[in-house]
């Protein structure tokens, strides 16, 4: 979904058509089956003309992606999705009282317009996902009536539990998915926002409760705090639950960096799964452990999974806490000989520079300090 409103609508992001096509090909190669685009939410939510042109071009670019268009209940939205040659649509209709008030419609109106929109989409051969937006804040009795009524009036292929404002918890998602499963007889999808930093945990809980699809973005991009990060939930399901999502994990870090470069939003150094220093040590005790153990034993004892699994790597950071062990590791990694009695001074220079620049040193900076210490008078 990195190209849809929950990805590219992140403030400050605008992909070119060429970048959109490259991202689409990258995520398909990663193992993603469906790619979301936007068709509208009535007139107010209609994509900009340039976005429409890009989606039309994307549909003809031969990326291998199956496009799913997010729509409101307007037939114009669904017709635009058909122009994209979309394989399916997600029809979004309000479910919480606050959303109903915002739109100025009552319970019966939302049931009717949502049902009619889904029937229109099905009549035109589209796969239909039904998303009652703001699901966690819906009145429980109305949500049950809404789902039962829509099931009687319309055909849809999946039901999307949508935490549109990221305001629930893993326990809430467990309960909602369990309740919904008792009502509908279609697969359940999850749309979880990250406003409390719980999106991945919520999605993980929802899958445990019986959901089978999670809406994600690369690097957790998206409006406000973003959506579920694909790299995080896919790895958690694989390692912690043994669920094969079809993702090529060794490509995760490369795809993350591609999207980061195109978006202009750098991922933080210790971001789970794909951060450059997610698998790194700097303090002397940690580096000493690595030096004293075989690499294989260290990976088992001190890391949650091998970094190579996701295309990442273990590093020793040259930073403000680097000691002699860290310098020895770096020298060994680079195959460099260096006088043993000068290692304490080199470690001191590393710490001083790292404190000044407030980040780990680059290889070039480390080599510059090495030459500085070598050429300094005894």
For 199-239, write each residue's pLDDT tens digit: 999 999 999 999 999 999 999 999 899 999 999 999 999 99
What DSSP line would sit under 3-18, residue for residue? TSTTTTTSTT----HH
Label residue 144 exposed, middle or buried (CB < 10 Å: 0-12, 13-18, 19+): middle
Instruction: Kindly indicate the confidence band of residue 135, based on its pLDDT and cuts at 50, 70 and 90.
Output: very high
Instruction: Kindly indicate the confidence band of residue 42, based on its pLDDT and cuts at 50, 70 and 90.
Output: low
302 or 86: which leads in pLDDT: 86
Provide CATH code, domain 17-263. Answer: 3.20.20.70
103 or 3: which leads in pLDDT: 103
Task: Give the chain's end-to-end CA distance (angstroms, integer).
Answer: 59
Report pLDDT for 374: 87
The 10s digit of each residue's pLDDT in 56-110 is: 999 999 999 999 999 999 999 999 999 999 999 999 999 989 888 888 889 999 9
Query: CA-CA distance, 372 to 156, in Å (whole number)?
Result: 68
* Model confidence pTM above 0.85: yes
Query: CA-CA distance, 246 to 350, in Å (whole number)?
Result: 43
Instruction: Find, among 40, 99, 100, the residue nearest to 70 by Cα.
Output: 40
For the chain, give every domain's residue range: 17-263, 280-375
Instruction: Kindly indicate the confidence band of residue 44, based on its pLDDT and cuts at 50, 70 and 90.
Output: low
Query: CA-CA distance, 81 to 75, in Å (whole number)?
Result: 10
Enclosing H/E stretch for 49: helix 49-59
Give the ranges where 164-247 is alpha helix by DSSP (H).
170-181, 199-209, 230-241
Residue 139 phi, psi (nearest 5): -60, 130
Instruction: Find, among 47, 209, 214, the residue nearest to 129 by Cα.
Output: 214
**Residue 299 in this model has a pLDDT that exceeds 80:** no
- For residue 189, the SS3 value is strand
Report pLDDT for 13: 87
Q: Are 210 and 178 in contact (CB under 8 A)?
A: yes
**Residue 254 in this model has a pLDDT that exceeds 80:** yes
DSSP state of 227: B
Instruction: Kindly indicate the confidence band of residue 377, based on its pLDDT and cuts at 50, 70 and 90.
Output: confident
Q: Percent of the chain beyond pLDDT 70?
A: 96
11 or 77: which leads in pLDDT: 77
Instruction: Kindly indicate the confidence band of residue 1, based on its pLDDT and cuts at 50, 70 and 90.
Output: low
């Amino acid at each position: 979904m990195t190209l849809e409103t929950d990805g590219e609508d992140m403030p400050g992001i605008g992909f070119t058509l060429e970048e959109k096509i490259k991202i689409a090909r990258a995520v398909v190669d990663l193992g993603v089956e469906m790619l979301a685009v936007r068709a509208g939410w009535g007139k107010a939510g209609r994509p900009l003309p340039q976005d429409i042109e890009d989606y039309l071009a994307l549909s003809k670019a031969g990326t291998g992606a199956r496009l799913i268009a997010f729509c409101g209940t307007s037939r114009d939205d669904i017709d635009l999705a058909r122009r994209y040659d979309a394989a399916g649509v997600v029809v979004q209709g309000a479910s919480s009282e606050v959303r109903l008030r915002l739109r100025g419609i009552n319970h019966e109106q939302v049931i009717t317009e949502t049902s009619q929109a889904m029937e229109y989409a099905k009549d035109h051969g589209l796969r239909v996902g039904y998303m009652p937006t703001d699901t966690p804040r819906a009145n429980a009795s109305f949500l049950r009536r809404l789902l039962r009524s829509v099931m009687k009036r319309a055909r849809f292929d999946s039901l999307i539990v949508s935490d549109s404002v990221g305001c629930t918890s893993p326990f809430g998602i467990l309960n909602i998915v369990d309740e919904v499963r008792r009502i509908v007889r279609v697969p359940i999808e999850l749309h979880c926002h990250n406003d409390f930093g719980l999106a991945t945990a919520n999605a993980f809980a929802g899958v445990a409760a019986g959901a089978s699809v999670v809406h994600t973005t690369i690097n957790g991009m998206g409006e406000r705090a973003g959506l579920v990060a694909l790299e995080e939930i896919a790895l958690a399901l694989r390692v912690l639950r043994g669920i094969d999502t079809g993702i090529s994990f060794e490509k995760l870090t490369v795809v993350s960096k591609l999207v980061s470069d195109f978006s202009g939003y750098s991922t933080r150094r210790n971001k789970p799964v794909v951060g450059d220093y997610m698998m790194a040590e700097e303090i002397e005790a940690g580096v000493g452990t690595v030096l004293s153990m075989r690499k294989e034993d260290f990976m088992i004892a001190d890391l949650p999974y091998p970094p190579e699994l996701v295309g990442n790597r273990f590093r020793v950071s040259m930073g403000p806490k680097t000691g002699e062990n860290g310098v020895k590791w770096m020298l060994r990694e680079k195959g460099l000989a260096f006088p043993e009695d000068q290692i304490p001074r080199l470690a001191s220079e590393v710490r001083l520079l790292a404190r000044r620049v407030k980040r780990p040193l680059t290889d070039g900076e480390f080599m510059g300090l090495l030459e500085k210490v070598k050429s300094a008078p005894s």
